[in-house]
Structure 1
Amino acid sequence: MARHFRPVVVGVLVTTSAALLGLGPTAVPASAATNSFRGVNWADERDNFVDGTLVLGGLSTSDSYATTQSKADKILSGFQNNLGANTVRMPVNYSTVSGSYWNSYTGAIDKATGKGMKVILSYWEGDSSRDGKVDNLTQFWSMWQTIVNKYSGNGNVYFEPMNEPHGYSATDWKNLAAQWLGKYPGVPKGRIVISGIGYNQGLTTIGDDSRFNGTLISRHLYQFFDTSRHTEASWSSALTDSVGSYAGRVIMDEWGAPMTDGRNYDAASASDDFVNYIRGVSAAARTLGIGTVYWPGVRPNDHYRIQNINGSGTNISLSTTNASGRDRLRYSWGL
């Protein structure tokens, strides 16, 4: 999403725990660490807040399943070869899943899992609402039932019930997320990604709720979330302090900064807040063993994108927009 153009209210239910860098005694991790998630977001050029059908960069609603697979193979291979990625996060909504294009859209999901990649499927609300709530609960449950029926048996597919549920109170979001777990008990807890409160910021309140024991927890972190931070150390603290004792369950599945304007993220800066943000957050993720999923890997015309699409049709390839940004992304992954 073009999240970098939107103001955000900061300070949502974050617990300071600077001394806790890993797992505390109360944590119930899905794994000892999440750094096996090395990923990027593959997004719609219009942003993933779409009232109709989602169309990922490089794809078209006129594409058949086979054509989608052919295009997806080139894009996913670019993520793997250029970045070392093994995870891709993709949006879903009711219009996409309930319509005829779903048969083609699944070609991209199937190609990713066929290439051994993890796929995180996350629900986005429509553009006309943008209120941080599910647009239509009847359609929401129908959409997820279709997805769960198709992919619950595929160990490489992960389910994120909602992206940035900022319209709900902490209690209401947790109740809705718990309802999701109750409706789809056949989905293993370790393949469910529960968004933090607000804009995926409040993590410990999810971790502290025993209903979510064993699930993963999603964190989003952008420079514009807190423009008072100006140093690498302060940005490292922004991630470290927010995870509390639940680092072993947290995936930072959105973070990003400008990649098309020539910034050098390999060198420390005394004045560039974006450089300090990328360096500080990547260092903390590496130390904590937290998996990260960059926003975006591919989204045409987004100046945060870390990959360009070259060519057209099925004759496409990817290239890296910023080598230093790629370096820091890989650094966050522990590579």
Structure 2
Amino acid sequence: MPYPLVRPFLFMLAPETAHHVTLGGLNFAHDVGLLRAFVPAPVSCPTTVMGMEFPNPVGLAAGLDKNGEYIDALGDLGFGFIEIGTITPRPQPGNPKPRMFRLVDSEAIINRMGFNNEGVDKLVENVRKSQYKGILGINIGKNFDTPIERAVEDYLICLDKVYEYASYVTVNISSPNTKNLRQLQQADELSSLLAALKQRQQQLADKHGRYVPLALKIAPDLDSHQIQEVAERLIKHQIDAVIATNTTLSRVGVEHHPHGTEAGGLSGAPVRAKSTSVIRELAEALDGALPIMGVGGILSGDDAVEKIHAGASLVQVYSGMVYRGPTLVEECAAAIASIRY
């Protein structure tokens, strides 16, 4: 059934309920073979990034499938790659409900999920069961009750456990919903974290005979000086990619909305310009040293192209899928292909 016909019914449900209903429906449609029948064939736009060839440059951002429970179904939607997580070493329930809010007239979402997930061991179990053969990113974080000064330990635990199963690993230090997490973006703490991760990456590459790239996910709320500092440390520690950006704490443009003052990270259309600006500054600071994945406010093919023109090599979508449905993937991939070929 075309998504525009389904959406009004989903939007009658609480956002988190609609999320689970949608993903359950996708799993069912995959299991009975309906998804491939109704979803257009993936657009071919091969893009080589981090030493891997992506069939097209449009990926699914982390957050939609936190535990890797829906990988095969999501793989039917035409994505060039899928990122699952954020995962933490131990299971945790996340923040109290309600913790997700639609701002429909602004095509936006505010969430304060708080890294709710079933723990890294459960995610690995789900990945091992999956039949998906495409590029799979795994996004890792820290438990909410791990002191910030011991955050590195959590990231290393997750990296050790997911390394064998990931095409690349994303280090999430930019969620606004885990206390003090964004502190890790500060210069000295970021250097310590990246140095430890890079050392462990090399040890794991030697152990498994396979190099798995590392990406860092940053916030859209960094100023120009902070963007420059992050870029310098990404280059210094030879990190393989950067994802820009996560959700924003800003409420510019949604102040009028009944849920506009809810705590959490804002995503969707209102973050588009802010995310693109960070990408543009980051691209200038990096000067081609490593690739950028652009994410934030992509609700059309033109939005995806904007990210590419700003300096991104790949893009990711999430909130746009809530408002536009699976056709957004094909539209974005086709739009990017039209400027590349």
TM-score between both structures, scaled by the size of structure 2: 0.48
- The higher-RCO structure (CA 8 Å, 6+ apart) is 1
User: TM-score normalized by structure 1?
Assistant: 0.48
